[in-house]
Amino acid sequence: MPVIPDQVPAEPIYTITLTATGAYIDGQPVPGSSTDAEESRRAALREIYVKAALHGRAVRLVAKEADGTTWPMIMDTGGNVITLHAPHPVPPSPAATTSAAPPLLAPAASPQPAHDWAAPLPPAYQALYDDLRTAESAGDLPNAVALAARLEEELTATYGPLHPHAVNVATLRASLTLRLGGDWYETVELLVHTALRRREAGAQPVQDTVGTARNAHAAWRSLARGDAEGAAELAERVAGMLEQFGEDRRTRDVLDWVEGATMISQGELNQHLDR
């Protein structure tokens, strides 16, 4: 059924900002973005697609190009983008929404200390976490991944991307995504992003951070077996991440693979030219 723009709620409105170094959504770097503008644009739209899917409806966004051009848009749950010819409506003021139903997950009254990595989630988030674990126990990994992504988004919005609550659930989401399998390209991107996020946050235990980095390498190996082109695109990012963790053997494995793939490609080219 086609989306009717006037029927899409005024909030949330996600802001994609494209820069010379990559893409950002509401100020947060987009996994998979790069100095290539088109690649960054696609990576950002993939993230908005996930957000629309989590909301279960179309969402509003604003795309800001590097040259300052701004495009108001709507993305539906099928990934279709509608470019609007007028700005988004102004969201209602807080005073106008005081009688509205409370959000599903209300922010906790007092965040846990940033150093307490073993602290349980606040009660407001426990029900969604329990649903996540129930789906996991039942073997419903697609639903568990979707619930983890939703919980991560809520916690990140409340506490910030480097708070233990947000980082711990992001790590769980990455682990579930790895177990689910399927799209190895996006799985590698997610694991690399999560490993670096844990490192930046100083997440504990450290072995979980290292384990996430090693899982990224294992997922990249699975990608290389079925999609050499995709593996080549991510090789530099994976090797750079592994190098930061002192994983010399795994870094060398990625670089050796790239060197071998380059030699094969050059050999195929020479055979073609010799014909």
Task: Say what the pLDDT of residue 189 is.
Answer: 93
Instruction: Measure the CA angle with vertex 179, ends 114 and 149; round to 5°.
Output: 45
Mean predicted confidence (pLDDT) in 229-250? 90
The residue among 177, 230, 220 whose CA lies nearest residue 39 is 230
Amino acid (1-letter code) at residue 208:
D
Report pTM: 0.57
Rounded to 5 degrees, what are φ and ψ at 237? -65, -45
Complete domains list, the chain, with CATH? 5-83 (no CATH), 123-274 (1.25.40.10)
pLDDT of residue 92: 62
Two tokens, residue 202:
């100083």
Eight-class DSSP state of 139: T
Cα dist from 198 to 162, 211, 261, whole Å: 8, 11, 31
Q: In the predicted model, is pLDDT for residue 177 greater than 80?
A: yes
Per-residue pLDDT, 91: 67
Contact yes or no for 212/191 (Cβ under 8 A): yes
Distance CA 9, CA 13 (A): 9
**Mean pLDDT for the stretch of residues 121-129:** 93
Q: With contact defined as beta carbons under 8 Å apart, do 262 and 229 qualify? A: no
At 75-116, the pLDDT tens digits run: 887 788 899 888 888 766 544 443 443 333 333 333 334 458
